[in-house]
Amino acid sequence: MPTLVCVSILVETVERASADAVLAGEHGADLVEYRIDELFSSLDDLPEVLRLVEHSPLPCIVTCRPTWEGGEYDGDEDQRVAMFEKLGTSDRPPQYIDVELAAYTRSANERMKIDLAVDHATQQRDLYTRLVLSTHDFSGRPTDLTRRVLRMQDEPAAAVHKVAFRARSLRDNLELFDLLAESPKPMVALAMGEHGLISRILAPKFGGFLTFATLRDHSATAPGQPTLADLLGVYRFGEIGRQTKVFGIVGWPVGHSQSPRIHNAGFAEVGFDGVYVPLPVAAGDDPETSYASFKATLLELVEHPRLDFSGCSVTLPHKENLVRLAREQGWPLDAVSAASGSANTLVVERDDRGGVASARVVNTDAAAAVGALARALGSVPGKRVVVLGAGGVARAIAFALAEAGAKVTVTNRTPERAAQLVADINAAHPDAANVLSWDARETTTTEAFVNCTSVGMQGGPAPEESALGAAAFAHLPRGTVLLETVYAPVRTRLLSMAQDAGWRTIDGVEMFVEQGAKQFELWTQRPAPREQFACLVRDALNG
Ligand code: NAP
Protein backbone atom coordinates (compact mmCIF):
# COMPACT_ATOMS: atom_id res chain seq x y z
CA MET A 1 0.00 0.00 0.00
CA PRO A 2 1.43 3.43 -0.87
CA THR A 3 2.40 5.68 2.03
CA LEU A 4 -0.39 8.16 2.69
CA VAL A 5 0.04 11.91 2.97
CA CYS A 6 -1.82 13.32 5.93
CA VAL A 7 -2.28 17.02 6.57
CA SER A 8 -2.49 17.75 10.26
CA ILE A 9 -4.86 20.56 11.17
CA LEU A 10 -5.00 22.27 14.55
CA VAL A 11 -8.74 22.85 14.83
CA GLU A 12 -9.88 26.24 16.07
CA THR A 13 -13.33 26.21 14.46
CA VAL A 14 -15.10 23.49 12.51
CA GLU A 15 -15.59 25.83 9.54
CA ARG A 16 -11.93 26.81 9.23
CA ALA A 17 -10.72 23.25 9.72
CA SER A 18 -13.17 21.96 7.10
CA ALA A 19 -12.02 24.61 4.64
CA ASP A 20 -8.38 23.60 5.26
CA ALA A 21 -9.29 19.95 4.78
CA VAL A 22 -10.85 20.80 1.40
CA LEU A 23 -7.64 22.64 0.43
CA ALA A 24 -5.53 19.69 1.60
CA GLY A 25 -7.54 17.34 -0.61
CA GLU A 26 -7.28 19.67 -3.60
CA HIS A 27 -3.50 19.81 -3.16
CA GLY A 28 -3.00 16.07 -3.01
CA ALA A 29 -3.41 14.94 0.62
CA ASP A 30 -4.94 11.49 1.17
CA LEU A 31 -6.27 12.16 4.65
CA VAL A 32 -6.35 14.77 7.37
CA GLU A 33 -5.65 14.65 11.06
CA TYR A 34 -7.89 16.87 13.14
CA ARG A 35 -6.01 17.97 16.22
CA ILE A 36 -8.96 18.86 18.44
CA ASP A 37 -6.86 19.65 21.53
CA GLU A 38 -8.25 23.19 21.64
CA LEU A 39 -11.72 22.57 20.19
CA PHE A 40 -12.61 19.93 22.76
CA SER A 41 -12.64 20.68 26.45
CA SER A 42 -15.54 18.52 27.71
CA LEU A 43 -18.36 16.34 26.39
CA ASP A 44 -20.36 19.55 25.90
CA ASP A 45 -18.18 20.02 22.80
CA LEU A 46 -18.97 16.58 21.39
CA PRO A 47 -21.53 17.88 18.85
CA GLU A 48 -18.81 20.11 17.33
CA VAL A 49 -16.43 17.17 17.04
CA LEU A 50 -19.14 15.03 15.43
CA ARG A 51 -19.93 17.85 13.01
CA LEU A 52 -16.25 18.14 12.11
CA VAL A 53 -15.99 14.44 11.28
CA GLU A 54 -19.30 14.41 9.47
CA HIS A 55 -18.24 17.23 7.15
CA SER A 56 -14.74 15.98 6.52
CA PRO A 57 -14.01 15.91 2.77
CA LEU A 58 -11.23 13.35 3.37
CA PRO A 59 -10.83 10.28 5.57
CA CYS A 60 -9.65 11.54 8.93
CA ILE A 61 -7.76 10.81 12.13
CA VAL A 62 -9.10 12.45 15.27
CA THR A 63 -6.45 13.31 17.83
CA CYS A 64 -6.92 15.14 21.12
CA ARG A 65 -3.36 15.31 22.39
CA PRO A 66 -3.05 15.95 26.13
CA THR A 67 -0.45 18.32 27.54
CA TRP A 68 1.39 15.43 29.18
CA GLU A 69 2.18 14.09 25.68
CA GLY A 70 3.09 17.43 24.08
CA GLY A 71 -0.42 18.59 23.08
CA GLU A 72 -2.75 21.33 24.24
CA TYR A 73 -5.60 19.41 25.91
CA ASP A 74 -5.50 19.89 29.67
CA GLY A 75 -9.06 18.78 30.50
CA ASP A 76 -10.40 15.75 32.28
CA GLU A 77 -9.06 12.41 31.02
CA ASP A 78 -12.38 10.59 31.52
CA GLN A 79 -14.11 13.14 29.30
CA ARG A 80 -11.46 12.71 26.61
CA VAL A 81 -11.75 8.92 26.62
CA ALA A 82 -15.56 9.12 26.68
CA MET A 83 -15.38 11.41 23.65
CA PHE A 84 -13.39 8.76 21.73
CA GLU A 85 -15.92 6.11 22.71
CA LYS A 86 -18.82 8.23 21.51
CA LEU A 87 -17.04 9.14 18.30
CA GLY A 88 -16.24 5.54 17.48
CA THR A 89 -19.79 4.37 18.16
CA SER A 90 -21.47 7.29 16.37
CA ASP A 91 -23.27 7.00 13.04
CA ARG A 92 -20.37 8.72 11.25
CA PRO A 93 -17.22 7.52 13.00
CA PRO A 94 -13.80 8.82 11.93
CA GLN A 95 -11.56 6.35 10.10
CA TYR A 96 -8.93 6.61 12.84
CA ILE A 97 -8.57 7.80 16.39
CA ASP A 98 -5.10 8.41 17.79
CA VAL A 99 -4.68 7.38 21.41
CA GLU A 100 -1.42 7.53 23.33
CA LEU A 101 0.07 4.22 24.44
CA ALA A 102 0.38 5.64 27.96
CA ALA A 103 -3.36 6.47 28.09
CA TYR A 104 -4.43 3.17 26.56
CA THR A 105 -2.45 1.04 28.96
CA ARG A 106 -3.11 3.16 32.07
CA SER A 107 -6.39 1.58 33.23
CA ALA A 108 -8.68 -1.27 32.26
CA ASN A 109 -11.59 1.16 32.19
CA GLU A 110 -9.99 3.51 29.65
CA ARG A 111 -8.84 0.62 27.50
CA MET A 112 -12.36 -0.81 27.52
CA LYS A 113 -13.85 2.45 26.27
CA ILE A 114 -11.27 2.80 23.51
CA ASP A 115 -11.83 -0.83 22.52
CA LEU A 116 -15.53 -0.10 22.34
CA ALA A 117 -14.80 2.76 19.96
CA VAL A 118 -13.05 0.38 17.61
CA ASP A 119 -15.02 -2.77 18.37
CA HIS A 120 -16.55 -5.43 16.20
CA ALA A 121 -20.15 -4.22 16.44
CA THR A 122 -19.37 -1.05 14.53
CA GLN A 123 -17.27 -2.97 12.03
CA GLN A 124 -20.34 -4.95 11.03
CA ARG A 125 -21.90 -1.79 9.69
CA ASP A 126 -18.80 -1.37 7.60
CA LEU A 127 -18.24 1.91 9.36
CA TYR A 128 -15.42 1.45 11.73
CA THR A 129 -12.73 3.33 13.48
CA ARG A 130 -9.20 2.03 13.63
CA LEU A 131 -6.90 2.70 16.53
CA VAL A 132 -3.60 4.49 16.01
CA LEU A 133 -1.61 3.74 19.16
CA SER A 134 1.01 6.42 19.55
CA THR A 135 3.98 7.49 21.62
CA HIS A 136 5.83 10.82 21.46
CA ASP A 137 8.88 12.39 22.99
CA PHE A 138 9.57 16.04 22.23
CA SER A 139 12.93 16.09 23.96
CA GLY A 140 14.79 13.28 22.24
CA ARG A 141 14.90 9.56 21.61
CA PRO A 142 13.16 7.85 24.53
CA THR A 143 15.57 5.57 26.35
CA ASP A 144 12.83 2.90 26.48
CA LEU A 145 11.95 3.13 22.78
CA THR A 146 12.26 -0.60 22.15
CA ARG A 147 10.08 -1.41 25.18
CA ARG A 148 7.41 1.03 23.96
CA VAL A 149 7.37 -0.53 20.50
CA LEU A 150 7.10 -4.03 21.95
CA ARG A 151 4.21 -2.92 24.17
CA MET A 152 2.37 -1.58 21.14
CA GLN A 153 2.92 -4.86 19.36
CA ASP A 154 1.26 -6.63 22.30
CA GLU A 155 -1.99 -4.69 21.78
CA PRO A 156 -4.22 -6.47 19.24
CA ALA A 157 -6.67 -3.55 19.06
CA ALA A 158 -4.02 -1.28 17.55
CA ALA A 159 -4.29 -1.11 13.77
CA VAL A 160 -1.41 1.33 13.38
CA HIS A 161 1.61 1.94 15.59
CA LYS A 162 3.03 5.44 15.74
CA VAL A 163 6.37 6.51 17.18
CA ALA A 164 7.56 10.13 17.08
CA PHE A 165 10.48 11.72 18.87
CA ARG A 166 12.78 14.66 18.40
CA ALA A 167 15.87 13.71 16.45
CA ARG A 168 19.13 15.00 17.88
CA SER A 169 21.04 14.04 14.75
CA LEU A 170 20.46 12.41 11.38
CA ARG A 171 21.42 9.08 12.87
CA ASP A 172 18.17 8.92 14.84
CA ASN A 173 16.30 8.62 11.54
CA LEU A 174 18.14 5.45 10.62
CA GLU A 175 16.78 3.61 13.66
CA LEU A 176 13.27 4.70 12.68
CA PHE A 177 13.79 3.39 9.14
CA ASP A 178 14.73 0.01 10.60
CA LEU A 179 11.65 0.04 12.84
CA LEU A 180 9.43 0.74 9.82
CA ALA A 181 11.03 -1.92 7.69
CA GLU A 182 10.63 -4.56 10.42
CA SER A 183 7.20 -3.59 11.76
CA PRO A 184 4.59 -6.38 11.82
CA LYS A 185 1.76 -3.81 11.46
CA PRO A 186 1.26 -0.56 9.56
CA MET A 187 3.52 1.95 11.27
CA VAL A 188 4.26 5.65 11.42
CA ALA A 189 7.82 6.36 12.58
CA LEU A 190 8.79 10.01 12.46
CA ALA A 191 11.56 12.13 13.84
CA MET A 192 10.72 15.69 14.82
CA GLY A 193 12.82 18.80 14.33
CA GLU A 194 15.12 19.78 11.48
CA HIS A 195 17.23 16.64 11.86
CA GLY A 196 14.09 14.57 11.32
CA LEU A 197 12.93 15.86 7.95
CA ILE A 198 14.31 12.82 6.13
CA SER A 199 12.14 10.47 8.20
CA ARG A 200 9.11 12.32 6.85
CA ILE A 201 10.27 12.43 3.22
CA LEU A 202 11.66 8.90 3.00
CA ALA A 203 8.77 7.10 4.75
CA PRO A 204 7.63 5.40 1.47
CA LYS A 205 11.03 3.85 0.98
CA PHE A 206 10.58 1.86 4.20
CA GLY A 207 6.85 1.13 3.89
CA GLY A 208 5.65 3.79 6.36
CA PHE A 209 1.90 3.97 6.77
CA LEU A 210 1.74 7.75 6.46
CA THR A 211 3.66 10.97 6.71
CA PHE A 212 2.40 14.31 8.00
CA ALA A 213 2.56 17.55 6.08
CA THR A 214 1.40 21.03 6.79
CA LEU A 215 -0.68 23.30 4.55
CA ARG A 216 1.28 26.43 5.38
CA ASP A 217 4.78 27.20 6.56
CA HIS A 218 3.59 28.30 9.98
CA SER A 219 0.79 25.78 10.59
CA ALA A 220 2.87 22.72 11.53
CA THR A 221 1.45 20.71 14.42
CA ALA A 222 4.86 19.19 15.17
CA PRO A 223 8.35 20.61 14.58
CA GLY A 224 9.89 19.75 11.22
CA GLN A 225 6.76 18.94 9.21
CA PRO A 226 7.30 19.83 5.54
CA THR A 227 4.67 21.77 3.66
CA LEU A 228 2.41 19.71 1.42
CA ALA A 229 3.71 21.72 -1.56
CA ASP A 230 7.36 20.88 -0.78
CA LEU A 231 6.65 17.24 0.03
CA LEU A 232 4.78 16.57 -3.21
CA GLY A 233 6.37 19.22 -5.45
CA VAL A 234 10.03 19.47 -4.45
CA TYR A 235 10.63 16.00 -2.97
CA ARG A 236 8.25 14.11 -5.31
CA PHE A 237 6.95 12.02 -2.40
CA GLY A 238 4.62 10.03 -4.66
CA GLU A 239 7.56 8.78 -6.73
CA ILE A 240 9.64 7.48 -3.82
CA GLY A 241 9.71 3.71 -3.55
CA ARG A 242 11.80 0.94 -2.04
CA GLN A 243 14.42 1.10 -4.81
CA THR A 244 14.80 4.88 -4.80
CA LYS A 245 18.40 6.03 -4.40
CA VAL A 246 19.01 8.66 -1.75
CA PHE A 247 21.20 11.75 -2.19
CA GLY A 248 21.40 14.95 -0.22
CA ILE A 249 23.23 18.01 0.91
CA VAL A 250 25.38 17.76 4.02
CA GLY A 251 26.12 21.07 5.75
CA TRP A 252 25.18 23.37 8.60
CA PRO A 253 22.83 25.05 8.07
CA VAL A 254 21.20 23.52 4.96
CA GLY A 255 17.59 24.66 5.31
CA HIS A 256 17.83 27.33 2.61
CA SER A 257 19.84 25.37 0.07
CA GLN A 258 18.57 25.41 -3.51
CA SER A 259 20.17 22.03 -4.21
CA PRO A 260 17.10 19.88 -3.34
CA ARG A 261 15.05 21.95 -5.77
CA ILE A 262 17.37 21.42 -8.73
CA HIS A 263 18.40 17.81 -8.20
CA ASN A 264 14.90 16.49 -7.54
CA ALA A 265 13.56 18.33 -10.59
CA GLY A 266 16.47 16.93 -12.58
CA PHE A 267 15.74 13.36 -11.46
CA ALA A 268 12.15 13.82 -12.64
CA GLU A 269 13.26 15.31 -15.94
CA VAL A 270 15.61 12.45 -16.87
CA GLY A 271 13.48 9.69 -15.29
CA PHE A 272 16.04 8.75 -12.62
CA ASP A 273 14.76 6.96 -9.50
CA GLY A 274 16.36 9.19 -6.91
CA VAL A 275 15.50 11.68 -4.19
CA TYR A 276 17.68 14.48 -2.82
CA VAL A 277 17.16 15.65 0.76
CA PRO A 278 18.65 18.13 3.26
CA LEU A 279 21.15 16.39 5.54
CA PRO A 280 21.99 18.78 8.39
CA VAL A 281 25.14 17.87 10.30
CA ALA A 282 25.68 20.29 13.17
CA ALA A 283 29.02 22.02 13.59
CA GLY A 284 30.23 23.98 16.56
CA ASP A 285 33.28 26.10 17.27
CA ASP A 286 35.53 23.13 17.89
CA PRO A 287 36.70 21.69 14.54
CA GLU A 288 37.46 18.27 16.07
CA THR A 289 33.92 17.92 17.43
CA SER A 290 32.50 18.99 14.08
CA TYR A 291 34.66 16.47 12.29
CA ALA A 292 33.65 13.70 14.69
CA SER A 293 29.96 14.36 14.09
CA PHE A 294 30.46 14.65 10.31
CA LYS A 295 32.41 11.39 10.20
CA ALA A 296 30.00 9.41 12.37
CA THR A 297 26.98 10.60 10.40
CA LEU A 298 28.41 10.16 6.94
CA LEU A 299 29.71 6.67 7.63
CA GLU A 300 26.34 5.58 9.02
CA LEU A 301 24.55 6.94 5.95
CA VAL A 302 27.00 5.22 3.61
CA GLU A 303 26.89 1.92 5.45
CA HIS A 304 23.16 1.70 6.17
CA PRO A 305 22.03 -1.46 4.36
CA ARG A 306 18.55 -0.23 3.42
CA LEU A 307 19.06 3.46 2.68
CA ASP A 308 20.65 3.17 -0.80
CA PHE A 309 22.62 6.29 0.03
CA SER A 310 24.38 7.02 -3.24
CA GLY A 311 26.12 10.31 -2.72
CA CYS A 312 25.88 13.85 -1.48
CA SER A 313 26.84 17.44 -1.93
CA VAL A 314 28.90 18.81 0.94
CA THR A 315 28.83 22.46 1.84
CA LEU A 316 30.00 24.78 4.62
CA PRO A 317 31.55 23.98 7.03
CA HIS A 318 32.29 20.38 6.08
CA LYS A 319 34.13 20.60 2.74
CA GLU A 320 37.50 20.05 4.38
CA ASN A 321 36.04 17.35 6.60
CA LEU A 322 35.06 15.42 3.48
CA VAL A 323 38.66 15.31 2.26
CA ARG A 324 39.90 14.30 5.72
CA LEU A 325 37.36 11.48 5.88
CA ALA A 326 38.19 10.31 2.36
CA ARG A 327 41.86 10.10 3.33
CA GLU A 328 41.04 8.11 6.46
CA GLN A 329 38.76 5.74 4.58
CA GLY A 330 41.02 5.35 1.57
CA TRP A 331 38.39 6.76 -0.80
CA PRO A 332 39.95 8.12 -4.00
CA LEU A 333 40.07 11.93 -4.36
CA ASP A 334 40.22 13.87 -7.61
CA ALA A 335 43.27 16.05 -8.22
CA VAL A 336 41.75 19.35 -7.05
CA SER A 337 40.27 17.88 -3.86
CA ALA A 338 43.58 16.20 -3.03
CA ALA A 339 45.62 19.33 -3.70
CA SER A 340 43.29 21.91 -2.15
CA GLY A 341 42.07 19.80 0.78
CA SER A 342 38.47 20.85 0.06
CA ALA A 343 35.74 18.94 -1.78
CA ASN A 344 32.00 19.21 -2.32
CA THR A 345 30.89 15.88 -3.77
CA LEU A 346 30.71 12.26 -2.63
CA VAL A 347 29.81 9.56 -5.14
CA VAL A 348 28.87 6.16 -3.72
CA GLU A 349 28.30 3.18 -5.96
CA ARG A 350 26.38 0.28 -4.49
CA ASP A 351 26.36 -3.41 -5.39
CA ASP A 352 23.21 -5.44 -6.09
CA ARG A 353 22.75 -6.28 -2.41
CA GLY A 354 22.93 -2.66 -1.25
CA GLY A 355 26.56 -2.89 -0.09
CA VAL A 356 29.13 -0.22 -0.91
CA ALA A 357 30.95 -1.04 -4.14
CA SER A 358 33.00 2.16 -4.19
CA ALA A 359 33.10 5.70 -2.85
CA ARG A 360 35.02 8.66 -4.28
CA VAL A 361 35.33 12.36 -3.65
CA VAL A 362 35.31 15.12 -6.26
CA ASN A 363 35.40 18.92 -6.27
CA THR A 364 32.90 20.25 -8.81
CA ASP A 365 33.05 23.88 -7.54
CA ALA A 366 36.50 24.28 -9.04
CA ALA A 367 35.68 22.72 -12.40
CA ALA A 368 32.53 24.83 -12.65
CA ALA A 369 34.44 28.05 -11.95
CA VAL A 370 37.33 27.26 -14.27
CA GLY A 371 34.93 26.25 -17.06
CA ALA A 372 33.02 29.53 -16.74
CA LEU A 373 36.26 31.55 -16.71
CA ALA A 374 37.58 29.68 -19.74
CA ARG A 375 34.43 30.60 -21.68
CA ALA A 376 34.67 34.26 -20.64
CA LEU A 377 38.43 34.61 -21.23
CA GLY A 378 38.61 32.47 -24.37
CA SER A 379 41.12 30.21 -22.61
CA VAL A 380 42.81 30.00 -19.23
CA PRO A 381 46.51 29.13 -19.83
CA GLY A 382 48.72 32.18 -19.37
CA LYS A 383 45.88 34.45 -18.18
CA ARG A 384 46.28 36.41 -14.94
CA VAL A 385 43.45 35.79 -12.48
CA VAL A 386 43.16 37.43 -9.05
CA VAL A 387 41.41 35.29 -6.45
CA LEU A 388 39.79 37.33 -3.67
CA GLY A 389 39.71 35.22 -0.51
CA ALA A 390 41.59 32.21 0.81
CA GLY A 391 38.79 30.08 2.30
CA GLY A 392 37.53 26.71 1.06
CA VAL A 393 36.18 27.84 -2.30
CA ALA A 394 39.19 30.06 -2.96
CA ARG A 395 41.55 27.16 -2.31
CA ALA A 396 39.75 24.86 -4.72
CA ILE A 397 39.39 27.45 -7.50
CA ALA A 398 42.96 28.75 -7.13
CA PHE A 399 44.38 25.23 -7.31
CA ALA A 400 42.25 24.38 -10.35
CA LEU A 401 43.27 27.60 -12.10
CA ALA A 402 46.95 26.87 -11.45
CA GLU A 403 46.45 23.35 -12.74
CA ALA A 404 44.83 24.78 -15.87
CA GLY A 405 47.88 27.02 -16.49
CA ALA A 406 46.62 30.40 -15.24
CA LYS A 407 48.88 32.88 -13.43
CA VAL A 408 47.12 33.01 -10.08
CA THR A 409 47.27 35.89 -7.61
CA VAL A 410 45.73 35.39 -4.18
CA THR A 411 44.67 38.25 -1.93
CA ASN A 412 42.90 37.87 1.38
CA ARG A 413 41.88 39.99 4.37
CA THR A 414 43.98 37.70 6.57
CA PRO A 415 47.33 37.70 4.73
CA GLU A 416 48.70 34.54 6.39
CA ARG A 417 45.96 32.45 4.79
CA ALA A 418 46.76 33.89 1.35
CA ALA A 419 50.45 33.16 1.87
CA GLN A 420 49.72 29.59 2.94
CA LEU A 421 47.51 28.98 -0.07
CA VAL A 422 50.12 30.34 -2.46
CA ALA A 423 52.83 28.23 -0.84
CA ASP A 424 50.64 25.11 -1.20
CA ILE A 425 49.92 25.87 -4.86
CA ASN A 426 53.55 26.57 -5.69
CA ALA A 427 54.61 23.33 -4.02
CA ALA A 428 52.48 21.48 -6.57
CA HIS A 429 52.88 23.89 -9.52
CA PRO A 430 56.11 25.87 -9.13
CA ASP A 431 55.74 29.66 -9.65
CA ALA A 432 52.08 29.35 -10.62
CA ALA A 433 50.86 31.66 -7.84
CA ASN A 434 51.80 34.80 -5.97
CA VAL A 435 50.42 36.84 -3.06
CA LEU A 436 48.99 40.34 -3.25
CA SER A 437 48.24 42.45 -0.21
CA TRP A 438 44.53 43.01 0.44
CA ASP A 439 44.98 46.80 0.21
CA ALA A 440 46.56 46.54 -3.24
CA ARG A 441 43.77 44.50 -4.81
CA GLU A 442 42.00 47.50 -6.36
CA THR A 443 45.06 48.93 -8.08
CA THR A 444 46.43 45.71 -9.51
CA THR A 445 46.31 44.83 -13.21
CA THR A 446 44.55 41.63 -14.20
CA GLU A 447 42.34 40.00 -16.81
CA ALA A 448 39.95 38.50 -14.29
CA PHE A 449 38.84 38.54 -10.68
CA VAL A 450 37.11 35.74 -8.82
CA ASN A 451 35.32 36.77 -5.64
CA CYS A 452 35.65 33.88 -3.22
CA THR A 453 35.00 35.93 -0.11
CA SER A 454 31.61 35.83 1.56
CA VAL A 455 31.36 39.64 1.27
CA GLY A 456 28.00 40.52 -0.32
CA MET A 457 26.35 37.28 0.77
CA GLN A 458 22.91 37.51 2.35
CA GLY A 459 23.29 36.62 6.01
CA GLY A 460 27.09 36.86 5.64
CA PRO A 461 29.58 39.17 7.34
CA ALA A 462 29.04 42.20 5.04
CA PRO A 463 25.87 41.73 2.97
CA GLU A 464 25.74 45.31 1.63
CA GLU A 465 29.42 45.62 0.77
CA SER A 466 31.55 44.84 -2.24
CA ALA A 467 34.85 42.94 -2.20
CA LEU A 468 36.19 45.51 -4.73
CA GLY A 469 35.77 49.27 -4.42
CA ALA A 470 35.36 52.00 -7.05
CA ALA A 471 39.12 52.31 -7.60
CA ALA A 472 39.26 48.91 -9.33
CA PHE A 473 36.55 49.89 -11.78
CA ALA A 474 38.20 53.25 -12.48
CA HIS A 475 41.47 51.87 -13.78
CA LEU A 476 40.70 48.48 -15.31
CA PRO A 477 39.26 48.34 -18.85
CA ARG A 478 35.79 47.34 -19.95
CA GLY A 479 35.70 43.62 -20.67
CA THR A 480 37.65 42.70 -17.53
CA VAL A 481 36.12 39.45 -16.29
CA LEU A 482 34.48 39.05 -12.88
CA LEU A 483 33.31 35.71 -11.53
CA GLU A 484 31.16 36.33 -8.46
CA THR A 485 30.75 33.10 -6.47
CA VAL A 486 28.14 34.55 -4.10
CA TYR A 487 24.68 33.69 -5.44
CA ALA A 488 22.30 34.84 -2.71
CA PRO A 489 21.48 37.53 -3.59
CA VAL A 490 22.04 36.95 -7.29
CA ARG A 491 22.85 40.60 -7.91
CA THR A 492 25.47 41.50 -5.30
CA ARG A 493 26.84 45.02 -5.01
CA LEU A 494 30.10 43.81 -6.59
CA LEU A 495 28.25 42.36 -9.56
CA SER A 496 26.26 45.57 -10.11
CA MET A 497 29.38 47.74 -9.95
CA ALA A 498 31.18 45.48 -12.43
CA GLN A 499 28.24 45.50 -14.84
CA ASP A 500 27.98 49.28 -14.61
CA ALA A 501 31.69 49.50 -15.50
CA GLY A 502 31.17 47.34 -18.61
CA TRP A 503 32.98 44.29 -17.21
CA ARG A 504 32.13 40.84 -18.42
CA THR A 505 30.41 39.18 -15.45
CA ILE A 506 29.57 35.63 -14.47
CA ASP A 507 27.17 35.46 -11.56
CA GLY A 508 27.14 32.95 -8.73
CA VAL A 509 24.05 31.19 -10.09
CA GLU A 510 25.93 30.21 -13.24
CA MET A 511 28.64 28.61 -11.13
CA PHE A 512 26.11 27.07 -8.74
CA VAL A 513 24.19 25.51 -11.62
CA GLU A 514 27.35 24.14 -13.20
CA GLN A 515 28.75 22.63 -9.99
CA GLY A 516 25.33 21.03 -9.37
CA ALA A 517 25.09 19.80 -12.96
CA LYS A 518 28.47 18.11 -12.67
CA GLN A 519 27.37 16.38 -9.45
CA PHE A 520 24.13 15.27 -11.09
CA GLU A 521 26.07 13.74 -13.98
CA LEU A 522 28.44 11.91 -11.64
CA TRP A 523 25.49 10.40 -9.75
CA THR A 524 23.11 9.62 -12.60
CA GLN A 525 25.44 9.18 -15.58
CA ARG A 526 22.95 11.29 -17.56
CA PRO A 527 23.25 14.84 -18.93
CA ALA A 528 21.96 17.41 -16.44
CA PRO A 529 19.10 19.70 -17.52
CA ARG A 530 21.15 22.87 -16.96
CA GLU A 531 18.57 25.31 -18.29
CA GLN A 532 15.93 23.93 -15.98
CA PHE A 533 18.36 24.15 -13.05
CA ALA A 534 19.11 27.79 -13.86
CA CYS A 535 15.41 28.74 -14.17
CA LEU A 536 14.57 27.05 -10.87
CA VAL A 537 17.39 28.74 -8.97
CA ARG A 538 16.79 32.18 -10.47
CA ASP A 539 13.04 31.92 -9.81
CA ALA A 540 13.61 30.86 -6.21
CA LEU A 541 16.23 33.53 -5.50
CA ASN A 542 14.38 36.33 -7.24
CA GLY A 543 10.97 35.28 -5.97
P1 NAP B 1 35.03 30.40 3.87
O2 NAP B 1 35.93 29.22 3.82
O3 NAP B 1 34.37 30.75 5.14
O4 NAP B 1 35.91 31.69 3.41
C5 NAP B 1 35.41 32.97 3.52
C6 NAP B 1 36.37 33.97 2.88
O7 NAP B 1 35.75 35.25 2.93
C8 NAP B 1 37.70 34.09 3.60
O9 NAP B 1 38.71 34.32 2.66
C10 NAP B 1 37.48 35.31 4.49
O11 NAP B 1 38.66 36.01 4.79
C12 NAP B 1 36.65 36.17 3.56
N13 NAP B 1 35.90 37.18 4.29
C14 NAP B 1 34.87 36.97 5.15
N15 NAP B 1 34.42 38.16 5.60
C16 NAP B 1 35.17 39.13 5.02
C17 NAP B 1 35.16 40.55 5.07
N18 NAP B 1 34.29 41.20 5.84
N19 NAP B 1 36.05 41.21 4.31
C20 NAP B 1 36.91 40.55 3.54
N21 NAP B 1 36.97 39.22 3.43
C22 NAP B 1 36.11 38.51 4.18
O23 NAP B 1 33.89 30.31 2.77
P24 NAP B 1 33.88 29.50 1.38
O25 NAP B 1 33.36 28.13 1.57
O26 NAP B 1 35.20 29.64 0.73
O27 NAP B 1 32.73 30.29 0.58
C28 NAP B 1 32.99 31.59 0.10
C29 NAP B 1 31.85 32.05 -0.79
O30 NAP B 1 31.71 31.20 -1.90
C31 NAP B 1 30.49 32.06 -0.09
O32 NAP B 1 29.99 33.37 -0.16
C33 NAP B 1 29.61 31.15 -0.90
O34 NAP B 1 28.33 31.72 -1.12
C35 NAP B 1 30.33 31.05 -2.21
N36 NAP B 1 30.10 29.75 -2.87
C37 NAP B 1 29.47 29.75 -4.07
C38 NAP B 1 29.26 28.57 -4.73
C39 NAP B 1 28.55 28.56 -6.05
O40 NAP B 1 28.28 27.50 -6.56
N41 NAP B 1 28.27 29.71 -6.63
C42 NAP B 1 29.70 27.36 -4.19
C43 NAP B 1 30.33 27.39 -2.95
C44 NAP B 1 30.53 28.60 -2.31
P45 NAP B 1 39.51 35.66 6.12
O46 NAP B 1 40.41 34.53 5.77
O47 NAP B 1 40.23 36.94 6.39
O48 NAP B 1 38.51 35.31 7.18
Q: What does the pLDDT look like over 35-85, one tens digit per residue?
A: 999 999 999 999 999 999 999 999 999 999 999 999 999 999 999 999 999
Q: What is the pLDDT of residues 285-305, one digit of tens each?
A: 899 999 999 999 999 999 999
Is 27 marked active-site?
no
Q: What is the pLDDT of residues 314-365, one digit of tens each?
A: 998 999 999 999 999 999 999 999 999 999 999 999 998 889 999 999 999 9
Which residues have a Cβ under 8 Å from the Cβ of 505 and sit 6 or more positions away?
481, 482, 483, 484, 495, 498, 499
Most ligand 1 atoms within 8 A of CB, residue of 321, 410, 452, 458 to mutate: 452
Q: Walk me through the domains of the chain, giving residue ranges and CATH numbers.
A: 4-242 (3.20.20.70), 249-363 (3.40.50.10860), 366-506 (3.40.50.720)
User: What three-state secondary structure class fits 350?
Assistant: strand
Answer whether 450 contacts ligand 1 (Cβ < 6 A): no
* CA distance from start to end of the chain: 37
Answer whether 487 contacts ligand 1 (Cβ < 6 A): yes
- Side-chain half-sphere CA neighbours of 124 within 13 A: 3
Answer whether 398 contacts ligand 1 (Cβ < 6 A): no
Task: Count other C-beta atoms under 10 Å from residue 537's C-beta.
Answer: 23
Phi-psi region for residue 189, left (φ > 0), alpha (ψ -120 to 50) or beta?
beta
Q: What is the pLDDT of residues 100-157, one digit of tens each?
A: 999 999 988 888 888 888 875 555 566 689 999 999 999 999 999 999 999 999 999 9
Q: What's the gap in Å between 494 CA and the centre of ligand 1?
A: 14
> What global pTM score does this model have?
0.94
Is 263 marked active-site?
no
Name the residue with the closest Cα to ligand 1, atom 13: 453
